[in-house]
Each structure stands twice: as C-alpha cells, then as structure tokens.
Amino acid sequence: MPAPFNQADLESTNQPAALLELAFQLQASELTVPEDTRPNNLTVAIDGEESTATITATLPVTFALDAAGKPVITATDYIPAV
C-alpha cells in the first residue's frame, strides 16, 4: 500500500488546488501497480480550452456509526503494495 498520507505532502494553498494535487498523487500511486493488476479508480481530465479539470474517482468505503449514531463514511486504501 502507498505510504501513509501526510498533509505536508501537499503544497497547494487552497482546497480546489489541493484536490487536484491529491488526485495527481493518487493517480501516480495507481501507476506504480503492475499493469495486469493496476486499479483505474481515478481519472483526471484537463480541458485546456475551458481551463478546467474534471476528477472522477471510485473509492471503496466503509460505513460505521459514531457515538451519537451518525453515519461515518471512510474511504479505504485500495492500492496494493508493489
């Protein structure tokens, strides 16, 4: 599995930029997996004419309830160790 995430790994100064930066990092982690077993759960499409980025992600999640009975949805790591 990829190294644990550290917020210091992001250099962005605002949330939209951090989302894009993190998407690129996750995509790079996917690419470290051998092609025959590589997940393709995240895509980033850049539209140069519109100056936009579209991020599409399918992430495995777990469901739980907190002490107050509210649902807690947490994404789980899906990238196998290489």
DSSP string, 18-42: HHHHHHHHHHHHHTTS-GGG----E
Write down the mean pLDDT value for the chain: 91
Q: Where are the domains of the chain?
A: 7-75
pLDDT at 6 over 90: no
Q: What is the pLDDT of residue 52?
A: 98
pLDDT at 5 over 90: no
Mean pLDDT of 48-60: 97
Mean pLDDT of 64-71: 98
Cβ contact 41:58 at 8 Å:
yes
Angle at 15 between CA 13 and CA 19, to 5 degrees: 110
pLDDT digits (tens, 9 = 90+) for 13-52: 999 999 999 999 999 999 999 999 999 999 999 999 999 9
